[in-house]
Structure 1
Amino acid sequence: MNKKMSSKLLLLAEKIQTKQAVVGVIGLGYVGLPLALEAVKSGFVAIGFDKNRDKINSLNQKKSYISDLQSIIVQEALESERFIATDQFELLQQTDIIVICVPTPIAADKSPDISYIEEAVMKIQQYMTTDTLVILESTTYPGTTREIVYPMIEQCGYTVGNDCFLAYSPERIDPGNRHFNVKNTPKVVGGLTEDCTQLAKLFYEQALQTKVHCVSTPEVAEMEKLLENTFRQVNIALINELSKVCHAMNINIWEVVDAAATKPYGFMRFTPGPGVGGHCIPVDPKYLLWIGQQYGIHASLIDAADKVNESMPKFVVERLTYYLNMHHKQLVGAKIIVIGVTYKPNVNDIRESPALNIVQLLKGMHCDIQIVDPFIKDMPTVSLTPQLVQQADGVIILTNHSMIDYGIIDSHANFIFDTRQTDYAFNNENYYKL
């Protein structure tokens, strides 16, 4: 930190180091809740804020609504008396650190919708006190922290870098990932001032005990997050497009990928699928496209990749039609079992899931659709039984949840169309990969 440190900075730094600082987290979804609970584990008091009363009630009943976050963790946090879940935002007055973890969706015109960020900062304006560190974690376009959040904070009469502190640190949550989580994934931070950066770094080091990489500005941190997910989007699009070419040429794309992956350098393995889903990959590149347009740049590669991935549900239905025809059946009116509709395996998140688009396309062809997904409670699903599988014209695997009994499918399906290369050794002679 700077040699001439303000008394406010020194006081807050000491409170963070001794874990006397109270942490407020606005938004208790996939990002905010794990962060708040990890801060509690590390010895901080954390107050989680969310305007969704159902979430607050669930947490106060010691129940987790996130599929890969066990309820026992919520229970232990509550019983420690260092965790509060509330929709009473006036409790922000009690916090020393406020982390914003709210959604950043896309508007109908594909422009960034940062209304949730603005709403959160308006709450902060009402209740924050001096000596507070505010960190934005929501994925957004470069310039949001400086051009949107910073002026709103200073409207309170505080000078950022002196009376209060502001930084950006992109969330890096990967729901369902069994190896990397909020604690063992390095953080990136960029503050409005060097002191802001160092305070945010200190907080994450104390709360998560993880490596923290500091960058020069919030804009760098905001852009690197978009790079992370746009990198994935572009490479997924490449392999999805190649899968179309390989199908037309009667070449096994999976064998091609396996062969290419033997190269120990210069190649990174990506596999084809029915499209991209979740809040990150379908959304973040559009933020990058939009901000580029504001500066007169059309990111044509990103735009093309977006279109390729968005085309995959239609391609999947075309392939399904092809396999039905091979078995002397038509798509119209076919009885199809859909395995999995969440955007990725072993989570209960259906945001932007390509499986939903595929289901709608099939229903548009008057298919009789039966959905099997043990993680879904908000739409009609059925249990997987031998009789169900036998009576169907075919089975399509759109999300390869690990708790599905693939043996039943293997033994009784008329044919199987696997869009995810499920980790099961199928013996069914009518098993097809995307």
Structure 2
Amino acid sequence: MPADLAVIGLGHLGLPLAQAATAAGIGTIGYDPDPPTAALSGADGPLTATELRRLLSAGFRTTTDPTALGRVRTAVLCTPTPLGEDRALDLTALADAARTLAAQLRPHTTVILESTAYPGTTEEFLRPLLEEGSGLTAGRDFHLACSPGRHDPGNRTHRYANTPKVIGGLTPACTEAAAAFYGRLTDKVVRARGPREAETAKLLETNYRHINIALMNEMAVFCHEIGVDLWDVIRCAETKPFGFQAFRPGPGVGGHAAPIDPHYLAYKGRAPGHPLRMVELAQEVNGRMPRYVIQRCAALLNEHGKSARGARILLLGVTYKPDIGDQAGSPSREIASRLMELGAHLTYHDPYVPQWNVLDRPVPRADSLYEAAAAADLTVLLQAHRTYDLQGLSVKAQLLLDTRGATPTGAAHRL
């Protein structure tokens, strides 16, 4: 079956898109400059090993040959755009992918950006690269649109088909070309006024999540200090049928969609005069949570006559979400490194992570969960995977700190 779609970047956005397109009967290739086996392997990927085998057996294939990009009708850019140390998006991989695609771009191709980007990236960053490298004009010779990724790893309710796709094209014809493509994959297509609106919708969705989690994290610290059960507060508050959506605190915020402040428009060399101060504050609050978890660990050990130095501490769940192996941005690594620096002896358990290194050292993995919990001076639940019997663990553990509020009431110390 000839390829009709090229997915450029086989990460947390690209592979789910390839899976949905292949299932819809669209001939799909995946392009990644790294060897295909490296792009598709790894226990922490967005698809399980079984899903990957099914994808490949259904006809999906990968390539490192850029000439293959010139034989498709639709090309979707799903390259990573991670945050750098200055909290600005790193668009290097996107620029490289755009130049590679531009050299192969044919007239009438539809090019779509799914990678997380600043408002204006499609028009002011991506478009010039494609036009200069191809000699074609966007909106006239080829279609250009933005449709931000919305994949939620491990979500059993909202999958690709029933998650609406927001689309903003450079021209109305560009929007319709992209809508025709995504209409084959999803039940609902939402047309934005343009690429900037689509990009900013992603910005709002991501920042909304982080700001609300930050509020809950501040409430967690506040409620602990005044002796109030925040988890019961949330249970009560979420019964309000209007004006409230429940978020929950945790040891930090992980994931691929980090909060973005358009104040950092590094690729344009300028910034608007009004940064998103609430986003900056949310990042600061959420960034403090791993240190707060360490404080709670030290305090609990101290209350039981023990010091963090030399303590045997078991960490449960080191991924950023429950029931998946993805560790992107997980706060568990910072928590583990800080405990190591305090002199604690760490072990970990995670059914989705067979090996785990922190500070360039392997952390021993507990083979028998109950025995490890019984032997540890402190067990810290960082991620509540469904496979964990939290009631049983609370009985076996000498001391249990639950950072997710997942244990039965009174069974553990909660964040």
- The reply to whether TM is greater than 0.5 is yes
Q: Which moved more, 1:253-262 or 1:190-199?
A: 253-262
The residue number in structure 2 matching 1:9 is none
Structure 2 vs 1, CA of residues 199 and 66 (structure 1 numbering), >3 Å: closer, same or farther? farther
Deviation of the 1:382 alpha carbon: 2.3
Q: For residues 199-238 of structure 1, what are the structure 2 equivalents within 5 Å?
A: 199-206=177-184, 208-238=185-215
User: Which residue of the partner structure matches residue 52 of structure 1?
Assistant: 34
* Other-structure match for 2:259: 284
Q: Does 1:275 align with 2:252?
A: yes
Q: Work out the CA distance in 2 between the residues paired with 1:370 and 1:416.
A: 14
Amino acid at match of 2:173: D
The CA distance in 2 between the partners of 1:425 and 1:256, in whole Å, is: 15
TM-score computed with the length of structure 2 as normaliser: 0.92
Q: In structure 2, do the counterparts of structure 1 residues 213 and 395 end up closer, same or farther at CA, with 3 Å as the change threshold? A: same
Cross-structure match for 2:335: 358
State yes or no: 1:107 paired with 2:91.
no
Partner residue in 2 for 1:349: 326
Aligned residue in 2 for 1:239: 216
The equivalences for 1:12-51 within 5 A come to 22-51=4-33
Q: 1:65 to 1:314 in 2, by over 3 A?
A: closer
Query: In 2, are the aligned partners of 1:93 and 1:129 still within 8 Å (CA)?
Result: yes
Shift of 1:57: 6.2
Distance 2:188 2:84 in 1: 34
Alignment partner of 2:369 out of 382, 385, 394: 385
C-alpha distance in structure 1 between counterparts of 2:101 and 2:109, whole Å? 10
Q: What aligned pairs does 1:187-206 form with structure 2 within 5 A after superposition?
A: 187-206=165-184
TM-score, normalized by length of structure 1? 0.88
| Residue type of the alignment partner of 2:224 | H
Are residues 73 and 337 of structure 1, via their aligned partners in 2, closer, same or farther at CA, if it must alter by over 3 Å? closer
Out of 122, 126, 151, which is 1:173 matched to?
Answer: 151
Report the residue type matching 2:223 in the other structure.
Answer: C
Asked if structure 2 preserves the Cα contact closer than 8 Å seen for 1:410 and 1:427, the reply is: no
Measure the CA separation in 1 of the matches of 2:168 and 2:307. 56
Contact conserved, 2:11 with 2:39, CA < 8 A, in 1?
no
Aligned pairs, how many? 404
What is the Cα deviation at residue 66 of structure 1? Answer: 5.6
Structure 2 alignment gaps of length 5 or more: 357-362
Secondary structure of the corresponding residue to residue 216 of structure 1: coil
For 2:135, what is the secondary structure of its paired residue?
Answer: coil
- Farther-moved stretch of structure 1 (383-392 vs 333-342): 383-392
Greater helix fraction, Structure 1 or Structure 2: 1
| One-letter amino acid of the counterpart of residue 126, structure 1 | A
d(CA) in 2 for partners of 1:90, 1:65: 30
Any idea what the Cα deviations from partners look like across 1:195-218, whole Å, max 9, x if unmatched? Answer: 000100010002x13201001110
Tell me the distance in 2 between the aligned counterparts of 1:248 and 1:232: 25
Aligned pair in 2 of structure 1 residues 27, 244: CA closer, same or farther (>3 Å)? same
Residue in structure 1 matched with residue 352 of structure 2 by the alignment: 375
Map 1:100-179 → 2, pairs under 5 A: 100-155=77-132, 156-179=134-157
The percent of aligned pairs where both chains have the same amino acid is 36
Which of the residues 156, 159, 162 maps onto 1:184?
A: 162
Residues 425 and 244 (structure 1), Cα distance of their counterparts in 2 relative to 1, 3 Å cut? closer
Superposed CA RMSD in Å reads 2.1
Does the 8 A contact of 2:163 with 2:186 survive in 1?
no
The question of whether the paired residues in 2 share the 8 Å contact of 1:93 and 1:128 is answered with: yes
* Distance across 2 between alignment mates of 1:103 and 1:203: 22
1:391 shift after superposition: 1.7
Query: Take 1:383 and 1:235, find their aligned partners in 2: how far apart are those partners?
Result: 37
